[in-house]
Structure 1
Amino acid sequence: MDALQLLTTRRSSKKLAAPAPSAEQIELMLQAATQVPDHGNMRPFRFTVIQSEDGLQRFRSLLRQTVTELNFGEESMIKAEKIGNMAPLVIGVGFRPNKEVAKPKPEWEQMLSAGCAAYALQLAANAQGFDNVWITGLWTNSPLMREAFGCGEKDKIIGLIMIGTPAEETGGGKNTDLSEFVQYW
């Protein structure tokens, strides 16, 4: 698949199955994620790879505990169970602002770099034949999840990238009507 085809046909998929990417494939995805635009070489991204059965069980437990401790209710518990079993590989993408350089860049700029890292991770998974989806919401703001991912006070979990083998064909890109989003001068 060439780069333009990859970029114009990328889509999210919540129908993921085993097998997960191999260790070598995960390494390539993480290498791609660290090559994103990063003004000042701040490296404000962090990754938590959840792939072992013990790691996935811990992840599922954290999702359930989040619902219980924050009193989100039965509907959220059902959603937690679904997310916990959605993919054979989860990579948490975190943002850690870097202030330990001579000329730190604004936090918003660093967060954009971490967002680009999450997207590059998705593209690298797709390029290797895996589907994925980027999950946010109450899970990424969970104090339990933040603690488990080693987040400091200013750190954020910007996404849980769920990755696996496509369980069904989802088709190509979205064929966006660009007229709503683009102006030409």
Structure 2
Amino acid sequence: MDALELLTTRRSNKKLVAPAPNKEQLEQIFQAALRTPDHGKLKPYRFVVIADKGLIKLANALTQVATDLNLDNKQFSKIDKICASPMVIAVVAKLDPKVDKVPEWEQLVAAGCATYGIQLAAQSLGFDNVWITGKWAGGDALRQTLNCTEQEKIVALLLIGTAENEKLERDSKTADTQDFVSYL
């Protein structure tokens, strides 16, 4: 699959099973993430790979967040779905307000680009994934589990694995860009 085909057929998939990327594949994935746009070469992000027993810790943290935020039963039920994924990669933005040259918002965008780099690299290696955040991302229990400092923000929980249904077709529809593009 060439790069343009990857970009135009990428899709999210929540129905994931093992296997997840192995150590060598993760290295390739993270190398791709480190090549995304990054003004000032700050690398304002870090990645936390969550698998095996780590998924139990993640489930405990998400349960605590759901309790703390008084989320409804629908949100609680999502915890099992999230942690049923064979691997989750948390992306944490390391924001430094003291860098005059690169404002915090731009550092956050760089972390988002790195997240997308992970998604595309995983997809190119044959792994499906989905990027989730929601109310979980600001929860104290999750922040503590991921060892977040006060300046850090959780940008994504990327669920990564193999598509449960191999026959899932890529959406090949061409999007209408008219509402999104203008010319000056």
Task: Give the TM-score of the pair, scaled to structure 2.
Answer: 0.93
Aligned residues: 182
Q: Aligned AA for 2:143?
A: R
Q: Structure 1 unaligned segments of length 5 or more: list them.
A: none
**Contact 2:47–2:92 (8 Å) recurs in 1:** yes
Partner of 1:18: 18
Q: CA deviation at 1:104?
A: 4.0
Partner of 2:106: 109
Residues 55/172 of structure 1: CA separation in 2 closer, same or farther (3 Å cut)? same
What secondary structure, in the 3-state scheme, does the structure 1 residue paired with 2:91 have? strand
Q: Distance in 2 between matches of 1:158 and 1:99?
A: 17
Q: Aligned AA for 2:66?
A: V
Residue number among 87, 90, 97 corresponding to 2:88 in the alignment: 90
Q: Distance in 2 between matches of 1:174 and 1:15?
A: 21
**Contact 2:57–2:145 (8 Å) recurs in 1:** no
1:58 lines up with 2:39 in the alignment: no
What do residues 8-56 of structure 1 show as CA deviations (whole Å, max 9, x unaligned)?
Answer: 11010111111111110011111111111111111101111102x2111
1:146 lines up with 2:181 in the alignment: no
Partner of 2:73: 74
**Contact 1:122–1:132 (8 Å) recurs in 2:** yes
1:31 lines up with 2:28 in the alignment: no
**Contact 1:64–1:81 (8 Å) recurs in 2:** no
Runs of 4+ in 1 over 6 A off after TM superposition: none
Q: Distance in 2 between matches of 1:170 and 1:25?
A: 24
Q: Which stretch of the first structure deviates more once superposed, 71-80 or 9-18?
A: 71-80
Root-mean-square deviation (CA), in Å?
1.5
Q: Structure 2 unaligned segments of length 5 or more: list them.
A: none
Residues 10/71 of structure 1: CA separation in 2 closer, same or farther (3 Å cut)? same
Q: CA deviation at 1:93?
A: 0.5
1:42 lines up with 2:39 in the alignment: no
Q: Aligned AA for 2:177?
A: L
Q: Which stretch of the first structure deviates more once superposed, 58-67 or 22-31?
A: 58-67
Q: Aligned AA for 2:175?
A: T
Q: Which stretch of the first structure deviates more once superposed, 65-74 or 138-147?
A: 65-74
